[in-house]
Structure 1
Amino acid sequence: MPTTRARVLVVLVLLLGCLTVTGPRPATAAPALPDSLWFDETALTVRDGRFTDGHGREVVLRGYNVSGETKLAENSGLPFASVADARKSATALRALGGGNTVRFLLSWAYAEPVRGQVDPAYLSAATAQIRAFLDAGIRVYPDFHQDLYSRHLFDADSWYTGDGAPKWAVEAGSYPDEFCGICLFWGQNITQNEAVKRASYDFWHNAHGLQDAFLTTAQTTMAYIRQNVSVAQFTSIVGFDPYNEPHAGVLDSGQTSRTWERDVLWPFYERFRARMDAAGWQDKPAFVEPNLFWNANLDFQKQEGGLLDAGRLGPRYVFNTHFYDQKAISGVFMWGKAQDGQYTGDFGTVRDRAGAAGTPAIVSEFGHPLAGPVSDKAPTVLKAMYQALDSRVKGASWWSDPTASGPVLSGSQWQWDIYHGRHHELMNGNPDKVLTAGDAWNDEDLSAVRLDDAGTPVLRQDPRLLDRVYPSATSGTTVAFTYEDRSRDGSTTLTWNPVPSSLPQVARLVGTGQYGLLLWRSNSGSAPTELHLPASFPTAATTVVSDLGTAYAPPSYTPAAPVAAAPEPGGTGSRRLLLTDRDSGVLHYALVTNGASAPSPELLTAARAELSAWAAGQ
């Protein structure tokens, strides 16, 4: 039922023809909805192993890493050259990429260029760019990023580079000259480059007070952000990722990767958690990553871990991991393309580990090269990864076993860099090695976006793959979800989850279009369930079939409408489907598709009857 406040606001809107605003609003134009429908402004917490908003809804975070530009020197460790570029990127990320969340990269090297002196200009610029995303209705979780510990470990003529720690932190140690030997991939430096290994070891053991310095800078940064965003904006900052891809570097005698996590990594996270509390972030979780190689899909690379000895993590921690298909990237260990269900086992392991820890999971990095010898695998690899985020059941089995899906996973694709192919990076400060192509960092090329010649953001991947239907907020508990994106691999349409022949009217309604299907159990919440509507689902051509009702071209939202459409927050033009139930403990379903054009009432009724019978059997 709508709250009394909601009913009053609706009356005021009707009588006065204006919107009553009771709190801070983004700088961009807001959609004409009552304040009580600005759902995404509620704070996010962890409850019962799920992300939960202020209305008690289960929330899914989907988006991108912003961005690998932070690894470069050309913009002084910031994701963008200007706030204007940040706004442009945020609008495109919401409208083209379908994201509601970003992992926002920060640089320790630029935050603390001189030991003990945090640079206020860097914090100010970074916070202004964060605000651009918050203003676009996008949730943010910052990340002090590092790869290979620091760029300052590497020689000017090196084949590789790093990012993370400042120059003074490298100068504090006595590290051997960096050398990786026969390394075909930059990641091999993690385990083969003695300089990287020894510097990482020093950080984890707080040699030279390095960890203390980092934690102090992190606390100062968090306090600065807290003090320089509005109260409403701060509610949309969902947490902090303390450290990217942690690895021991060198294990102590008798130590294993698991005991390293227990005795070294977890105490660091507890220290970081205390700094979050001191900075005013006590109600936000730390997005903690296990040992980098705990879920590698190459046996010789896999290491025991997954924070197995940390106990129950929630609600002050989130299980945060990455996944790249190293077999596919190698070009040797996986021939051909990814298939239906390729990663359901890998992502199922993530679900299981988070479930055992009593907290949600987020896959804060995943992706695949978009250029080079293995780039032909990207369309299928990325489709399979998104499929595994949506459900732990492969498409061929989903309709017969949907309740085995598990929770819908949150995730941030690597990466969203509007400067792709337009960089001017002096690699390791070398004026004779100016990098302009790709991501301008260790030959990577993974950005989903670029600027065209007119300076307009455009996607580098199939929009049907990236801009997806997903349940951004579920009023109750998600039972199962699937999305058939019909993305392309060249000229081939990839259909891994066709509607079964046992549901002929549903199949007729969907046709060759895209579709998403959500099953959820209600919890008497006052706010509706929300699904993101991609640009390929214009309201006028969207069909919804639900036990709550059917609609072709869903109407604009009113509290009385069980099926409706509305803008998403931020004024970017993105939209959402709103499904309102008024019960508790009831299993509901909703199919949303852009298949049939102007379906008849008879077809909608027949499809609803089929789906109702199917759902009753679950």
Structure 2
Amino acid sequence: MVKMRARLIGLLVLVVACLTTSLTAGGAPSAAAPLAGPLWFDAQAAATFTVDNGRFTDGLGREVVLRGYNVSGETKLAENGGLPFASVADAEKSATALRELGGGNTARFLLSWAHAEPVRGQVDRTYLAAVTEQMKAFLRAGIRVYPDFHQDLHSRYLFNEGSWYTGDGAPKWAVEAGGYPRESCGICLFWGQNITQNEAVKRAAHDFWHNSHGVQDAFLTTAQATMAHLAEHLTTAEFAGVVGFDPYNEPHAGSYDSGRTSRMWERDVLWPFYEKFRARMDAAGWQSKPAFVEPNLFWNANLAFQKQEGGLLDAGRLGPRYVLNTHFYDQKAISGVFMWGKAADGQYAGDFGTVRDRAAGAGTAAIVSEFGHPLTGTVSDKAPTVGKAMYQALDSRLPGAGWWAKPEQSGPVLSGTQWQWDIYNGRHHELMNGNPAKVRTSGDAWNDEDLSAVRLDDSGTPVLRQDARLLDRLYPSATATRALAFTYEDRSRDGSATLTWNPVPTSLPRVSELVGSGQYGLLLWHSDGTSVPTELHLPASFDTPRTTVISDLGTAVGPPAYTRGTPIAVAPEPGGTGSRRLLLTAENPVGLHYALVTNGAAAPSAELLSGARGELAAWAAGRG
């Protein structure tokens, strides 16, 4: 891919459509409002997305972090015909809430092969049109999107009406072509055990990877038609917000051919499939967008008996046309057996460090496209700490206790999309496997899962099901040029207890006083000379008048609305949803920069601000 490095100082850009919003004084304009003023940098370039030198970047050369949610597990159900939403209006409601409540800038957007090709060789254009319109609602809200043809346990059509479990993915005709035995998982406490214990699921997966009955060819043809439809029916600005495609959710061999190992299967079966999918992307007009490729489902499992060698070790350097895309769930915590206590500071530093290292070895960027924990049930008490530890590990590979001492070892800030964002949580009406006697309404309505971070209240308004301090986070969405280290202390709660895993060290007493009991984030970054701003998402909990920024760029209490030349300022996020971002612009851009952002002390004194800035300057000296 060609990287656009725009240095267009003084360029007047009139910003249109959903992906660009005027950085001007005042609140976020509505989508139809006239522009109040110019951007001095190229907003179209800012919306561009690519992979460069192992990081996600935009067209201004800034390092980009994708944060958000999977939208939506409703696609796995039949009640709305495999669509994420019942209507475009619901999609718009969900997208706005994802921005305002969830703090996300990205959605992994689920699609259904079964509904895209219900009859072999016939793509359902009505389904594709509906999917496109719902996707547009997220793009209008300034949310980047990467679609995913989702599957679990291969297909719902493998399961009988009385089954304990169900699946999603392949259409009925593909299952009928295989003539699989009656499914049975035996003694399975979790639906995922079907992957390795249900003979029907195992054989169907094996057949797909070996293109038995031509099913893989059919899938690739439908995927190409879907991508071509999106390229044709999205505007140029909207299509720029589609950052890539996830070819296949949670791939597993089903069963390995005689003499094959999991690593050999990735090399000889999975990777050739991804190369075929990449060719289909190119043919559909997606040449400049990466494929978000997933290794063997179990390559990074944290249970020893599940773990299988993999991680696309034999694919060589993936480069900008592929992204290392993985999932992580703490199976020990979910089991209720292998982890009795709760997650703690640094719990997943090693697991997410493995993701960083594998991406670096592959010469590409990484994203954790699914992570989360059940919010009801016998292990739901672990959710607050598991969630905090996972976000902590996305932000940095260091535990909080050691971050201040060696931030240079923090590693890149990882992108991630939490499972999941389903506004219909608890309000479904799903006939499980088409059985009218098994109507599922609670939770996610799928295999007794309940992981959605959002639901609708009785008035139809989206509300969070998890602590807003955990979900709506400070994070560096665009860093000029490269983030060196980042940490965020969200002060999220576990019941009535505030979780503080990264206290300011006692060696920085004025910084500690400034932060107090508030939330804070600290970014270290290096600029190679670009004059475009570094941007951080500002959570709703960072009310502008109470937000304090201490930086080598200056000090600001209640940062002003953005105007050109203001080093520390606040502006609306793209999309007009009311969410905000902090912009940090260096007058002398080359070299190391730092910024502490906190909502701690109210109306801090000039003496406290000066003391905190002196301590941070001394701490930052010589780092990076």
TM-score class normalised by the smaller sequence: over 0.9
Please name the residue that 1:541 is paired with: 546
Q: For 1:32 and 1:344, locate their aligned partners in 2 and report how far apart those are by CA, in whole Å.
A: 44
Q: Which of residues 559, 573, 576 in structure 1 aligns to 2:578?
A: 573
Per-residue deviation, residues 471-505 of structure 1 (Å, max 9, x unmatched)? 00000111100000000000000000000000000
TM-fit CA distance, 1:97 = 0.1
Please name the residue that 1:70 is paired with: 75
TM-fit CA distance, 1:21 = 2.8
Report whether the alignment pairs 1:449 with 2:454. Answer: yes
Which letter does structure 2 place at the counterpart of 1:374?
Answer: V
TM-fit CA distance, 1:7 = 3.5
Give the secondary-structure state (helix, strand or coil) at the position aligned to 1:365.
strand
Which letter does structure 1 place at the counterpart of 2:584?
Answer: L
Pairing of 1:568-607 with structure 2 (within 5 A): 568-607=573-612
Pairing of 1:132-171 with structure 2 (within 5 A): 132-171=137-176
Preserved contact between residue 7 and residue 530 of structure 2 (Cα < 8 Å):
no
Give the secondary-structure state (helix, strand or coil) at the position aligned to 2:613.
helix
TM-fit CA distance, 1:585 = 4.2
TM-fit CA distance, 1:525 = 1.7
Please name the residue that 1:193 is paired with: 198
Per-residue deviation, residues 313-339 of structure 1 (Å, max 9, x unmatched)? 010000000000000000000011000
Q: For 2:381 and 2:134, locate their aligned partners in 1 and report how far apart those are by CA, in whole Å.
A: 34
Unaligned runs of at least 5 residues, structure 2 = 1-5, 20-29
Q: For 1:383 and 1:514, locate their aligned partners in 2 and report how far apart those are by CA, in whole Å.
A: 14
Pairing of 1:104-503 with structure 2 (within 5 A): 104-503=109-508
Q: 1:318 to 1:391 in 2, by over 3 A?
A: same
Q: For 1:416 and 1:139, locate their aligned partners in 2 and report how far apart those are by CA, in whole Å.
A: 15
Q: For 2:536 and 2:506, locate their aligned partners in 1 and report how far apart those are by CA, in whole Å.
A: 26
Among all aligned residue pairs of Structure 1 and Structure 2, give the percentage whose two residues are the same amino acid: 77
Q: Which of residues 518, 542, 564 in structure 1 aligns to 2:569?
A: 564
Preserved contact between residue 482 and residue 516 of structure 1 (Cα < 8 Å):
yes
Preserved contact between residue 40 and residue 137 of structure 1 (Cα < 8 Å):
no
Q: Over aligned residues, Cα RMSD in angstroms?
A: 1.5
Which letter does structure 2 place at the counterpart of 1:471?
Answer: P
Please name the residue that 1:12 is paired with: none
TM-fit CA distance, 1:24 = 4.1
TM-fit CA distance, 1:23 = 4.8
Q: For 1:65 and 1:550, locate their aligned partners in 2 and report how far apart those are by CA, in whole Å.
A: 37
Per-residue deviation, residues 251-290 of structure 1 (Å, max 9, x unmatched)? 0010000000000000000000000000000000000000
Give the secondary-structure state (helix, strand or coil) at the position aligned to 2:370.
strand
Report whether the alignment pairs 1:34 with 2:38. Answer: yes
Report whether the alignment pairs 1:514 with 2:519. Answer: yes
Per-residue deviation, residues 27-73 of structure 1 (Å, max 9, x unmatched)? 83467452456478521000000000010000000000001000000
Q: 1:7 to 1:402 in 2, by over 3 A?
A: same
Preserved contact between residue 17 and residue 140 of structure 2 (Cα < 8 Å):
no
Q: For 2:531 and 2:216, locate their aligned partners in 1 and report how far apart those are by CA, in whole Å.
A: 45
Preserved contact between residue 492 and residue 498 of structure 2 (Cα < 8 Å):
yes
Give the secondary-structure state (helix, strand or coil) at the position aligned to 1:315.
helix
Q: For 2:46 and 2:465, locate their aligned partners in 1 and report how far apart those are by CA, in whole Å.
A: 31
Q: For 1:221 and 1:36, locate their aligned partners in 2 and report how far apart those are by CA, in whole Å.
A: 37
Q: For 2:506 and 2:263, locate their aligned partners in 1 and report how far apart those are by CA, in whole Å.
A: 48
Q: 1:442 to 1:4 in 2, by over 3 A?
A: closer
Q: For 1:234 and 1:210, locate their aligned partners in 2 and report how far apart those are by CA, in whole Å.
A: 29
Q: 1:442 to 1:40 in 2, by over 3 A?
A: farther
Which letter does structure 1 place at the counterpart of 2:423?
Answer: I
TM-fit CA distance, 1:153 = 0.2
Q: For 1:56 and 1:355, locate their aligned partners in 2 and report how far apart those are by CA, in whole Å.
A: 19
Unaligned runs of at least 5 residues, structure 1 = 10-19
Preserved contact between residue 345 and residue 392 of structure 1 (Cα < 8 Å):
yes
Please name the residue that 2:27 is paired with: none
Preserved contact between residue 486 and residue 514 of structure 1 (Cα < 8 Å):
yes
Preserved contact between residue 18 and residue 142 of structure 2 (Cα < 8 Å):
no
Q: 1:308 to 1:543 in 2, by over 3 A?
A: same
Please name the residue that 2:26 is paired with: none
Which letter does structure 1 place at the counterpart of 2:63?
Answer: E
Q: For 2:540 and 2:302, locate their aligned partners in 1 and report how far apart those are by CA, in whole Å.
A: 34
Please name the residue that 1:15 is paired with: none
Report whether the alignment pairs 1:21 with 2:14. Answer: yes
Q: For 1:421 and 1:437, locate their aligned partners in 2 and report how far apart those are by CA, in whole Å.
A: 4
Give the secondary-structure state (helix, strand or coil) at the position aligned to 1:141.
strand
TM-fit CA distance, 1:4 = 9.4
Per-residue deviation, residues 220-242 of structure 1 (Å, max 9, x unmatched)? 00000011111011111100000
Preserved contact between residue 18 and residue 141 of structure 2 (Cα < 8 Å):
no
Which letter does structure 2 place at the counterpart of 1:174?
Answer: G
Q: For 2:46 and 2:181, locate their aligned partners in 1 and report how far apart those are by CA, in whole Å.
A: 50
Per-residue deviation, residues 125-169 of structure 1 (Å, max 9, x unmatched)? 000011000000000000000000000000000000000000000
What TM-score do the two structures reach when normalised by structure 1?
A: 0.96
Give the secondary-structure state (helix, strand or coil) at the position aligned to 1:597.
coil
Give the secondary-structure state (helix, strand or coil) at the position aligned to 1:239.
coil
Preserved contact between residue 327 and residue 369 of structure 2 (Cα < 8 Å):
yes
Q: For 1:514 and 1:424, locate their aligned partners in 2 and report how far apart those are by CA, in whole Å.
A: 40
TM-fit CA distance, 1:583 = 4.0
Q: For 2:37 and 2:329, locate their aligned partners in 1 and report how far apart those are by CA, in whole Å.
A: 40
Give the secondary-structure state (helix, strand or coil) at the position aligned to 1:557.
coil
What TM-score do the two structures reach when normalised by structure 2?
A: 0.95
Which letter does structure 1 place at the counterpart of 2:31?
Answer: T
Report whether the alignment pairs 1:615 with 2:620. Answer: yes
TM-fit CA distance, 1:398 = 0.3
Which letter does structure 2 place at the counterpart of 1:49?
Answer: G
Give the secondary-structure state (helix, strand or coil) at the position aligned to 1:576.
strand
Preserved contact between residue 40 and residue 564 of structure 2 (Cα < 8 Å):
no
Preserved contact between residue 170 and residue 199 of structure 1 (Cα < 8 Å):
yes
Q: For 2:52 and 2:7, locate their aligned partners in 1 and report how far apart those are by CA, in whole Å.
A: 26
Q: For 1:583 and 1:388, locate their aligned partners in 2 and report how far apart those are by CA, in whole Å.
A: 32
Preserved contact between residue 242 and residue 286 of structure 1 (Cα < 8 Å):
yes
Preserved contact between residue 62 and residue 101 of structure 1 (Cα < 8 Å):
yes
